[in-house]
Structure formats: structure tokens, C-alpha cells
Chain A
Amino acid sequence: MSNLLNKAVIVGIGATEFSKNSGRSELQLAQEASLAACRDAGVNPHDVDGMVTYSMDTNPAIEVARGLGCKELNFFSHVDYGGGAAAGTILHAAMAVATGVAKTVVCYRAFNERSGARFGQAMSTAGMAPDARAASYAWTLPFGLMTPASWVGMFAQRYMHLSGATSEDFGRIAVADRKHAATNPKAWFYGKPITLEEHQASRWIADPLHLLDCCQESDGGQAFVITTPERAKDLPGQAVTIKSAAQGAAYDQHSMVSYYRKDGDRPLPEMGNVARQLWNDTGLKPTDIDTAVLYDHFTPFVLAQLEEFGFCGRGEAKDFIKNGAIEMGGRLPINPHGGQLGEAYIHGMNGIAEGVRQIRGTAVNQVPNARNVLVSAGTGVPTSALILGNDY
């Protein structure tokens, strides 16, 4: 068990608008989101002394800090593995404040992922030095396995074969997300729900994945302020407890293409690792979770996550999600903000903000009396997740 239980809080959240063309630099988005988080917390940005972001973020901590006017930084961390880092940023910040290494840490992620470099396009290592990271793509790119959808589609096909899940089961995730986004004014797909028939009729991207199995591409920034429960008492922001946060990789881990494990029949053991840590740390169990924000860059991995977190047994997610179980009012509403399929793709960080709003009781699609909220980060990669609560 980690020694982090309830020793750090999220006291501020802030975001830019989520769009398809922000019209400003990624650095400006990062600074705007960070400033908004500081204002929500009631923290003077000059007093921020720690910063955490992702390996894929293009905004160096010192550049964000220059704009915020941070007097000095005592802690900066760059969490690896793309969207898998989302909750990891909160873990690193929580460790820093719980140990006294820093007092007030901003976690941020900002990009122009639609109007700038689009992650859904074909990956290339052309021009890169052939280091271990570039060489890892030698096993996929020459064969035309070049996009996140293609990498996940390979897992999805195997998962369907083993579990009996169908494309319609994947579609039920998309329908739930879009239903929730339809009543979230900040969602790109506000007022635009979809039907299962529309999901089935959407074009193939990487069979077995239809277009509507794939998340949006978005521009935007999201940030958080993390501090100790003691310090938060003196701040106007409504603090939310980080009950536990964990990172996880599994045996023979690859990035998006862990096809080679001897147990090739479990798509996301790395999330199982994270889940075990969260349950052990908190003493909570799946039935204690009031709502879950499950990373939804592609729908099939939402099913696999329900299994890895123990909401249902292996291969049973297709049954668990039926009859509106994952929609508002169901036994486990997921992604009340609309997720990355419905609200925006901010690399998992907008999902953490939704977790905070659910605990604060300020979400537009509020789960009544939400006490424990699970938020997971990018799947298929080394990942992370956290449980937020109102024990503060």
C-alpha cells in the first residue's frame, strides 16, 4: 500500500474552451488553463512551485512558469507515455506535496491536436535516430500498422473472438458517451446524440473499429492545482481528496502494441496492475464507485477496463453495459461529461476535471451524492488512474 492516502488534494481546475481550431499557440493554451486552475483554487500563480506535464506535451515547464510568473520552481516532472500519463501527473504532484518537496503544483496538458499535429495520422520514424523508441516501430510501420486505431483494432479483434463481444457492444459505449455529451454545453457534440444504428453505419477506420468507435481530435488545455489538505483549508477553492493514484506497466509492456505476451488473451494487464493498487490503497471495491471516467480513445478498451477494474468478470463487459447500466441513472454511469468521444480529446485530462466536478457536486450531468469517482488514463500504453473523494 502506498503512503499517499488522502495526503493531497486537487484544489483548482481550469481549462480553455475545447475546439477544433484554437487559433493560438499550445503554450498559450497551457498558460491559460494553468491560470484558470490557479484562479479556481484561489492560488496566486506567482506562488506555484511545482509543475508536471506529459512527455508528449510541447510546453516546457519553465515556459509555462514564465507566463505564470512563478517566482521559483522546486519540482518539475515529465510523465511518460502519452495519454497514459494523465492521472500520473496527479500522482507525481501528490507525491511532491505530500513529502514537502513542493507546496503548490500545477499539472497541465495543452495541445492543438486537431489544428496542429494530429495523432490519428500515420506514425513515421523517418528522420529519427534509430534509438530504442524508434526501433520499436520497426515491428509495425513497414506492414502498414501505423495508426492508434490500427494498433487498438488488433486488440479489439482478439477481444471479440474471446469474449463474444460485437461491434454493437463497442457502439453502446459510443452511444452512452454521446448521450452524456448531448447535455454538456462544453462538449463539442453538445446536442448531438447518436444511435446504435448510426454507429453501425459509420465508415470503417480500422475494421473492427468504425469511425464512431474513435474519439475526437481536439484543441484545448486543461490544468489542475494540487496541494496538501492543510494548505487547502486556507484557500477558497473546493478541495477534492486524491484518495489514491497509481501508475502501471505490465510484464512485456509495449506502447499500444503489447501483442506478444504469453497470455495474449488479456488486453490490458497494465490497467489491472493500476486497479489492484487503487483498491489496496483505499480499501474500496468496485461497488463503492459512484461514477467512473474511463479513458475512451477507442471504445473496445472501455470494455476491457470494466473487466480489469473488476466491475465485471473477464469477457463479461458486453453483458454489464446492457440496458443503460453505464448511462446516467444506471448502476455505473461512465463519462458523465461525454468522454473523449463526446466532450473533447484532451489526452485524458478533461476526464480528471470531470471527476473533480462530480465530487464537488458541480457537474452538468451530476451523479447524485457522488463520493468515490474513478478516473483512468490512456489505455494500451503504460497507464495510470486515480480515485477522487470527498473525505477532506
Chain B
Amino acid sequence: MTDTLSEQLSEAQIEGHVEDNVEENAVPQALRPRPAINLDNAFFFESLTARGELSIQQCSDCEELRHPPVPMCPDCNSTHWAPKAMKPSGIVHSYVVLYHPIVPPFEPGYVVAVIELEQGPRVVMNLEGVEREDVKIGMPVEITIERMDADLVLPVARPAAGKSNGEQA
């Protein structure tokens, strides 16, 4: 990565792809854990930060989507791949509500979900904008790309507008 995440981020925000998940005038607080970034996974976080896109690794030979990334395609063993931007929608595959231990900036009762993207791959992300007792496996979600702090941009799932909670999964 040539630019810092925050430099990339400001450009993406200007273009309107990244929403701000930090309250204005918020008191400085503990930061979320940083992802350990290396040659194999940097594209995922760069896509979020620089383009506001949730990108999944796609085999350039057999076109299989795979997540979490791995250098070699498990289907055809090709090492040729490219990031593919995903449609920002999916369903809740499973979820958990966290109470203990709580590490700031997280607060008791936050929800983490495995989201199954419309295009197939599953990705862990936070599920917001819904009371925990209303979360249902199979419920449709839409995904936005949000800035958590100066150097961290992550996908966030929220219940899809205008869709009823699904039970189909």
C-alpha cells in the first residue's frame, strides 16, 4: 500500500462511498483491533478504504469466489486472482450477541453476524440497526461501508429496507 489508509479514506469519503460510523465530537476512545494485513489479504481492506467496496477474491481461471482469501484456488489450484466487488446485500447466516468480556470501544449487547452475500461468499461483520431479539437467521440485510476510526473501514450489515424478516435460509 502506498497511501496510508486515512489518506485513501478521505478520497473515498469525498466520493461518497464510505459512510461515517463515528459520532461527531466523540470523545477520543479505544480503537477496534486492527486487522493483521499482509500480501494475501490487503486487497480486502484497500477495497473498503479506497473504493468503499466489499471485494471478495475471485479466481482468474475458474472464476470461483473464495473468502477468507487464500493464495491458491482450492478448486483449480490457480494462483491467479483478482478482487471482485460484491453487491451490498445478503442474509444473516448466523449471529452472536456479545456480553463478556467487553473490550472498548465495543459495548455490551453488540451483534456480530456471519452474512451470506447474495453472490454466495460468507463474511463476518457487525449487524446494526436492529434489536437483538428481532435478529433472525435468514433475514435480508444491506451492507454499507463505514469508517470506524481514522484508519479502519469495515462493512456493516443492517436490516434491508422494505423487506420482511426471512426464515428461508
Contacts and interface: CB of A to CB of B under 8 A. Distances in A.
Contacts of A260: 67-68, 121-122
Nearest to B68: A139
B64 to A, nearest CB: 11
A229 B90 CA distance: 57
A158 B137 contact: yes
A364 interface: no
B97 A204 contact: yes
Given A120-B101, A144-B98, A157-B94, A125 B33 contact: yes
A252 B106 CA distance: 30
Contacts of A161: 94, 137
A311 interface: no
A158 B136 CA distance: 10
Interface stretch (A146-154, A169-177, A281-289, A381-389): A146-154
B124 A145 contact: yes
Contacts of B94: 154-155, 157-158, 161, 259
A203 B110 CA distance: 16
Contacts of A137: 35-36
Given A252-B74, A259-B122, A141 B35 contact: yes
Nearest to A208: B96
Contact of B36 (A125, A208, A252): A125
A126 B33 contact: yes
B36 A144 contact: no
Interface string B138-152: 000000000010001
Contacts of B97: 204, 206-207
B40 interface: yes
Given A158-B137, A204-B99, A208-B96, A150 B112 contact: yes
A124 B33 contact: yes
A121 B101 contact: yes
Contacts of A130: 36-38
A145 to B, nearest CB: 5
B126 interface: yes
Interface of B: 32-38, 40-41, 44-45, 67-68, 74, 93-101, 103, 106, 110, 112, 114, 116, 121-126, 132, 137, 148, 152, 154
13 contacts: A135-B37, A138-B68, A143-B112, A144-B32, A144-B110, A144-B112, A145-B112, A146-B33, A150-B98, A154-B96, A206-B99, A207-B132, A208-B96
